[in-house]
């Protein structure tokens, strides 16, 4: 998915700053920002369109829903932006390479985000596409759950000693209370129910290969230390319904479509690295 950064507030500042660097201020009649305005500052108007975008970013609400006090506060903020931008122009900041690069990057990022939004408006996820992603992920969503215990120790030698005690008939839960260094020791090493995806990979692989009621005959090494495992039980995990995942699935479809669109544009572009 195309990645763009920067808030709308930053974009508003960039737009206002850019307008201050133009050789002439456009008139309301031909201004792409629209003829409406909410105030003027030193003869420079604050377009209503910028006011509305800034309001949504700063206040998280529609400009039409502002109280008179909130509207004044937003306009005051924009006045501050404009006078600061004017002062920056007087001091030559927009001509400095770093500032100019930041302004241009903000412009490109905002434009790219607008293009992404426009593309997805015209290529929304269809019901069939959402169903296909759901079906593709169904095996994982309907996977098995495991209930297990473990005894976590720091060295392989300690783990081997635990296994030897288990072979001698010692109770796993009692050994966990006595020997485990991890936080689950006091409750007999109980890990509760978990899926393989939610567990560190070496432990997940080990429990998959075990039978209910058995313990691991070899230490299982992870970043946390050495584990001795006991598989208490397994059960099938009912998958979530498509409706309960609709938003996530829709986002996945849109992300894939947008990534494919970006790849198409990149492939069609002439790119020369220097």
Task: Per-residue pLDDT tens, the chain, 274 aa: give them.
Answer: 323 233 333 344 444 444 443 433 545 545 799 999 999 999 999 999 999 999 999 999 999 999 999 999 999 999 999 999 999 999 999 999 999 999 999 999 999 999 999 999 999 999 999 999 999 988 878 888 999 999 999 999 999 999 999 999 999 999 999 999 889 999 999 999 998 888 999 999 999 999 999 999 999 999 999 999 999 999 988 889 999 999 999 999 999 999 999 999 999 999 999 9
Residues 85 and 173 occupy one common structural domain:
no
Residues 81 and 147 occupy one common structural domain:
no
Q: Is residue 79 part of a domain?
A: yes
Contact between 106 and 10 (Cβ < 8 Å): yes
Cα→Cα distances 45→25, 36, 42, 119, 257, Å: 9, 9, 8, 32, 40
Residues 16 and 98 occupy one common structural domain:
yes
Residues 179 and 228 occupy one common structural domain:
yes
Residues 157 and 112 occupy one common structural domain:
no
What's the pTM value of the predicted model, to 2 decimals?
0.62
Residues 12 and 102 occupy one common structural domain:
yes
Residues 150 and 207 occupy one common structural domain:
yes
Q: Is residue 219 part of a domain?
A: yes
If one counts every other C-beta atom within 10 angstroms of the C-beta of residue 93, the result is 17
Q: Is residue 213 part of a domain?
A: yes
Residues 108 and 164 occupy one common structural domain:
no
Q: Is residue 92 part of a domain?
A: yes
The residue segments making up the domain with residue 21 are 8-117
Q: Is residue 220 part of a domain?
A: yes
Last residue of a domain, one of 117, 151, 184: 117
Residues 19 and 98 occupy one common structural domain:
yes
Question: 115: Cβ–Cβ under 8 A, 6 or more apart, which residues?
Answer: none
Q: Is residue 107 part of a domain?
A: yes
Cα→Cα distances 188→10, 62, 111, 206, 226, Å: 54, 56, 57, 19, 16
Number of domains in the chain: 2
> What CATH number is given to the structural domain containing 174?
3.10.50.40
Residues 165 and 206 occupy one common structural domain:
yes
Q: Is residue 260 part of a domain?
A: no
Q: Is residue 57 part of a domain?
A: yes
Q: Which two three-digit tokens encode residue 187? A: 């409750």
């Amino acid at each position: 998915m195309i990645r763009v950064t920067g808030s709308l507030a930053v974009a508003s500042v960039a737009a206002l700053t850019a307008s201050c660097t133009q050789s002439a201020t456009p008139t309301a009649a031909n201004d792409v920002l629209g003829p409406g305005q909410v105030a003027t500052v030193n003869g420079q108007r604050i377009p209503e369109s910028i006011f509305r975008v800034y309001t949504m970013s700063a206040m998280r609400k529609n400009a039409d829903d502002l109280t008179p006090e909130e509207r004044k506060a937003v306009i005051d903020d924009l006045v501050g932006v404009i006078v600061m931008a004017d002062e920056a122009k007087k001091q030559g900041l927009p001509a400095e390479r770093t500032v100019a690069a930041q302004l241009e990057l903000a412009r490109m990022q905002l434009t790219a985000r607008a293009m992404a939004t426009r593309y997805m408006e015209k290529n929304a996820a269809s019901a069939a596409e959402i169903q296909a992603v759901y079906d593709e992920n169904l095996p994982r969503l309907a996977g098995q759950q495991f209930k297990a215990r473990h005894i976590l120790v720091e060295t392989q030698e300690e783990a081997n000693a635990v296994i030897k005690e288990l072979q001698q008939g010692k109770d796993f839960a009692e050994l966990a209370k006595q020997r485990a260094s991890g936080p689950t020791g006091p409750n007999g090493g109980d890990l509760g129910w978990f899926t393989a995806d939610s567990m560190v990979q070496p432990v997940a692989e080990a429990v998959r290969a075990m039978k209910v009621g058995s313990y691991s005959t070899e230490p299982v090494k992870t970043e946390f230390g050495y584990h001795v495992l006991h598989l208490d039980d397994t059960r099938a995990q009912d998958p979530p319904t498509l409706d309960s995942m609709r938003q996530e699935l829709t986002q996945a479809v849109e992300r894939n479509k947008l990534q494919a669109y970006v790849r198409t544009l990149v492939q069609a572009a002439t790119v020369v690295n220097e």
